[in-house]
Amino acid sequence: MNILVCVKQVPDTTEIKIDPVKNTLIREGVPSIVNPFDGYALEAAARIKDKDPTVRIIVLSMGPEQAKAALKECLAIAADKAYLVSDRAFGGSDTLATSYILTETIRKIEMLEGGLDAIFCGKQAIDGDTAQVGPEIAEHLDAPQVTYGLEAEVDGSVIRVKKEVEEGIEVVEVRMPCVVTFTKPAWDPRYPTIKRKMAANRAEIPTLTAADLPGIDLACAGLKGSPTKVKKTFVPQKRTGGIKIQEETAADSAVKLFGLLSDASII
Ligand SMILES: Cc1cc2nc3c(=O)[nH]c(=O)nc-3n(C[C@H](O)[C@H](O)[C@H](O)COP(=O)(O)OP(=O)(O)OC[C@H]3O[C@@H](n4cnc5c(N)ncnc54)[C@H](O)[C@@H]3O)c2cc1C
């Protein structure tokens, strides 16, 4: 069985800054990490492999050369093989173009590694935050999908997924090949061992380019192939001022608040 995990390298911060001219993320000077939700997807795959060591885990990232650092981290944790897909023609891709390029790369990896039984993704990337790429890959592949996964186990030709829903947890079964996106479970992902870290550092990660993807239509990739056009980005002005009421007791605070509101003719 082969599981492919899509991994995005993201800035190690939740305070994303936007270049107001180019309308793209400012990545310079910000350390990068594996998108945390992709770490949960990798751990879910690793738990399946714990039960069946014949399972192979392949990780795939689309991004610049530096994304190989994220892939090496995944190799150190649990992955058996990693691929980077990178090409200047892919720059400026929105989520639809990104999922299209990832899907074409998945098709290529199937030619190289054999059929993929499951594609695991994070629920969302902490920088782009759209949560669109996983479901879009499922649509491109015409494969069934489960979102908000917490845990997954393989049972014959199906994957049984515990998924988060508003009212609690739902257990769904989906036939393979399928796409599952993962959210934060109750447990933490495993740490890499020193031995795996050393092997990952030595690993050669193949880079696939547009020329390696036989079916790709470049009209659907990159900035030109992206239907989403960012018209404007801006950072909302931070609110200033405000009064903090912190009297000795809650009753005194209430009296003070009442006074201020009545002085302002609000009550
Ligand atoms: C017009 C436009 C231009 C853009 N140009 C650029 C650009 O030049 N460079 C740039 O970096 N971003 C660019 N972006 C942002 C880029 O489209 C998104 O970051 C990307 O498509 C993923 O969307 P997301 O981050 O919301 O991922 P989500 O949909 O939130 O991610 C869900 C999951 O999909 C998988 N996934 C997502 N992205 C990748 C990836 N790259 N590789 C592997 N797995 C992945 C992961 O498993 C992730 O957890 C642009 C966006 C727009 C709208």
Mean of pLDDT over the chain = 94
Taking a C-beta distance cutoff of 8 angstroms, is the pair 58, 108 a contact? no
Could you state, in chain order, the average pLDDT of each consecutive group of 10 residues for the chain (267 residues)? 97 74 73 96 98 98 96 98 98 96 98 97 94 98 98 97 97 98 96 97 98 96 94 80 90 95 92
Helix (H, G, I), strand (E, B) or coil at 30: coil
95 Cα to the center of ligand 1, angstroms: 5
Amino acid (one-letter) located at 245: I
What would you report as the CA-atom Rg of the chain, rounded to the nearest whole angstrom?
23
Token pair for 73:
């981290």
**Which DSSP letter does residue 52 get?**
-
End-to-end CA distance of the chain: 68
pLDDT of residue 13: 72
Ligand 1 nearest-atom number relative to CA 27: 11
Which amino acid, 130?
A: T
Model confidence pLDDT, tens digit, residues 124-173 = 999 889 999 999 999 999 999 999 999 999 999 999 999 999 999 999 99
Phi, psi of 168 (to 5 degrees): 155, -130
Ligand 1, pocket-test mutation among 95, 137, 145, most atoms within 8 A of CB: 95
